[in-house]
Amino acid sequence: MTVDRIVHLAAGSMILLSIALANFVHSDWIWLAVFVGANLAQSGLTSFCPLAAMLKKARVPDSSKCCS
């Protein structure tokens, strides 16, 4: 898996988890989805994603260097 795919998978999973927890446990869990959404908006505007930076330091292949 590449950095981009892992970031998308992690963000989508966190949002779905947050919605499930807000529905079944406590409504304050929705703030996790708000945080993830704000982080996605911030990374779209600034091109900096903390998770992507950590994955690149962990030497996960970048999508630009991957053949398939």
Classify residue 64: in a domain, yes or no: no
Digit-coded pLDDT (tens) for 29-60: 999 999 999 999 999 999 999 999 999 999 99
Q: Domain containing 17: what range?
A: 3-58
The CA distance from 53 to 17, in Å, is 23
Domain for residue 46, yes or no? yes
The verdict on residue 45 lying in a domain is: yes
Residue 22 lies in a domain: yes
pTM of the model as a whole: 0.82
Q: Which two tokens stand for residue 62?
A: 């970048």
The arithmetic mean of pLDDT across residues 8-15, rounded, is 96
Number of domains in the chain: 1
Instruction: Tell me whether residue 67 is in a domain.
Output: no
